[in-house]
Chains A and B, each alone.
Chain A
Amino acid sequence: MTARDDTLQRLHKSQHPEPHPEPWESPQSFPDLTAQFIKALQTASGKAFHVESLDKALEKAFEFMEEFKVKRIIANDEPPLNQLDLPERYTQYEWYIVDKTEGNLQEFCAHADAGLTGAEAGFAETGSLVLVSGPGKSRFTSLLPPLHIVLVQTSKLMVDIFAWQKSYHKQFPGWVGFISGPSKTGDIEGKQVLGVHGPRDYIVILYDK
């Protein structure tokens, strides 16, 4: 008998089915999802800004690129970034566009100064963004560089994880990540240090249209 059969047989023999509770209906609600998102993300050591338009968001993003003395940028090939002709517009940077630029992504990414992505959805309650893997969307853009900037439309914000879970009916891709702040540790005497493995700085720019 295999270990599988052994375990399952034992479990089936001793099972005593109890009714499963109804799905949890989250009672959470916020008058202003954007304001709540910004507040929650700040609590988690991230930065968030709210601007009117995608143009303004881009402007803000590149203010930070200058401030952080960024030279090499890796960007996901996903909305809204793929409609912006970034490498043509910002020629002073060395660019790598996921699944477009030739050459080894990991190698570029390991020495990139900033990663630029969009996001699928956001949870206002916890200040989290949902990112996924797939064509044009690298798992590493948001992970290897020391700075991660996200451009995301405010219409993508939901109340919380329960609202997202209700609305999500797609097949799961290989990787889904909820990002709720920069990489953080408290493992040495509980002292909080940012940027232990992932980005030290995490900036979300929310735009209305």
Chain B
Amino acid sequence: MTATFEKFHADARKVIADPRYQFAIEDATHTKNVKRTAAAAAYPPYEPLRDHLKAVRSSILSQLGVHLETFEKNAQNAGATVHWAENGEAACQIIADICERHGATRVVKGKSMASEEVHLNHYLEKEGISPVETDLGEWIIQQAGDPPAHIIAPAIHLTRYEIAKIFERVTGEDVDPENVEGMTAMARGILRDKFLSAEVGITGGNVAIAESGSIVLVMNEGNGRMTTSLPPVLIMLIGIEKVVPNWNDASAVLSLLARAATGQALSQYTTIVTGPAREDESEGPKEVHYVLLDNGRSKLIGTKYEEILRCIRCGTCLNVCPVYRKIGGSVYNTPVSGPIGSVFTPLIAGLNEYVALPHASTLCGECLKYCPVRIDFPRMFLDLRSDEVEQKVLPWRDRVIERFAARVMSTGWLYHLLFGIGRIFQVPFIKDRQFHLPKWINPAKERRLPAFGKRSFHQVWAKGEIKDDRS
């Protein structure tokens, strides 16, 4: 998977021209924003808790290794097996090996962004194991063959008509698209059978707690509860940055996560797995494996990008981002989209491959403003863009233009000279105070750039015609 400029722009054009998609994405993100705002207002500690959680997550990252070792020790004491995966391939291999050791082919999966990140389903299918997604949205997009369109709501890009078609294909029955309850009930029936016969369950995790060796999973449907308790073998895949030292910190994460993600005070179900079923229990998983995924995360510690690992994956930055709200998740061509994906993915999967993503931002700062752990996305977009110039990731033509622009902007006399020349030579191209340039030379493509004014801002300012109303 890649996101080059050509591919990104071509894909973006397609979805921007699709009014149905535009409505779906605007409707979904708007609803989420309204709900988050209401939940924050109804919870007086929301703002101070954001500052607290930011400090907690920063402190954790500053000595992540210590917390991971404590987590490992306590998880092992609780009877869980802890695996370390250096990269995506290694994580898939570990999981496939566990399945093979149990001769398992029937595998059920809970929603997990980490498993999307390492393309686990694809890997397991090659090994002859067919994992069934059990979150309704994930199951729908698995049938459709689409990547998730949103961290929290993977199928927001599909209408009920398209989803009814998918149900018809799977069941061979007629499905009424107006009957959403009916479709949900069908999925319940199909998936209930899968749960009851599954040999291995695979889930992600929202928080790993060092002091108790537990992994916490939040969900609304209950599929995560099914996946963690019905199959005899349970595998939980979690990024190493998700660890917290204690339950007070975990409670802080949980108190903000659902409010930010869906506007709920807590998700309908919070499941805490601490090793396998105990000896005095007659049910529950006999074997529990925690797979700790590094995949480039440890390399970010101590760098200017460390704070991206503070993320708790609530999806708020997607919902408030003017770019995401126009293009949705698929254009990013990475499971984690929006501002978080645009910084995280190039860092772990390569700036070369995802060169367009650091530019998928207007730098308006809405993501920073609403992020529950106050991640400074705009700063990192700029840092990534400057890395692109330094590492010569951008095409040479763009690099020359960027360097030239930087020189002009930072050299007063050159700036005034060039814009003075521009003011004179623009005249034949201007109509209605706009540039009319042939398409191939117009840097703004379809849009018309405004003409330079008669006088520059500097000249107007020097004359005192603009009032400085900064207080």
Contact = CB atoms under 8 A, between A and B. Distances in A.
**Do A and B interact?**
yes
Interface of A: 2-4, 6-8, 10-12, 14-21, 23-24, 26-28, 40, 43-44, 99, 105-106, 110, 123, 125-128, 133-135, 138-140, 143, 160-162, 165-166, 168, 172-191, 193, 195-199
A188 B271 contact: no
Nearest to B187: A196
Contact of A184 (B163, B268, B273): B268
B84 A134 contact: no
Interface in B237-276: 240, 245-248, 250-252, 254-255, 264-276
A60 B184 CA distance: 30
Contact of A177 (B86, B160, B191, B271): B271
- Give the size range of B's interface with the partner: 35 or more
Nearest to A186: B153
Nearest to A40: B265
Contacts of A174: 273-278, 281, 284-285
Nearest to B217: A177
A183 B265 contact: no
B255 A161 contact: yes
B137 interface: yes
A176 B277 CA distance: 11
Contacts of A12: 65
B381 to A, nearest CB: 23
Interface string B280-307: 1111110000001010001101100000
10 contacts: A12-B65, A138-B282, A143-B222, A172-B212, A174-B281, A176-B272, A180-B270, A182-B268, A183-B220, A196-B223
Interface stretch (B54-62, B329-337, B398-406): B54-62
A178 B207 CA distance: 15
Contact of A189 (B134, B160, B265): B160
Contact of B273 (A4, A26, A27, A175): A175
B245 A20 contact: yes
A143 B222 CA distance: 8
A175 B86 contact: no
B86 A11 contact: no
B383 interface: no
B268 A197 contact: no
Contacts of A188: 136, 140, 155, 160, 163, 180, 183-184
Contacts of A186: 153, 220
Contact of B225 (A8, A143, A182): A143
Nearest to A176: B272
Interface stretch (B44-52, B446-454, B462-470): B44-52
Interface of B: 24, 27-28, 31, 44-45, 49, 52, 55-56, 58-60, 62-66, 68-69, 78, 84-86, 90, 134-137, 140, 153-156, 159-160, 163, 180-181, 183-184, 187-188, 191-192, 195-196, 212-214, 220-223, 225-226, 228-230, 240, 245-248, 250-252, 254-255, 264-278, 280-285, 292, 294, 298-299, 301-302
Contact of B59 (A20, A133, A185): A20
Given A174-B273, A188-B180, A7 B229 contact: no
A145 to B, nearest CB: 12
A140 B229 CA distance: 8
Contact of A187 (B90, B135, B302): B135
Contact of B84 (A7, A140, A173): A7
Nearest to B87: A3
B274 A24 contact: no
B62 A187 contact: no
A105 B56 CA distance: 43
Contacts of B59: 17-21
A21 B247 CA distance: 14
B265 A125 contact: yes
B27 A190 contact: yes
- Which of B45, B59, B196, B283 has the most chain A CB within a 10 Å cutoff? B283
Contacts of A127: 265
Contacts of B184: 185, 188, 193, 195-196
Contacts of B64: 11, 15
Contacts of B272: 172, 175-178
A187 B136 contact: yes
A2 B272 CA distance: 29
B220 A195 contact: no
A42 B317 CA distance: 29
A173 B213 CA distance: 11
Given A176-B272, A186-B153, A187-B136, A193 B180 contact: yes
Contacts of A199: 222
Contacts of A143: 222, 225-226, 229
Contacts of A198: 221-222, 225-226, 268-269
A160 B44 CA distance: 13
Contacts of A128: 266, 270
- Which of A7, A28, A177 has the most chain B CB within a 10 Å cutoff? A7
B106 to A, nearest CB: 15
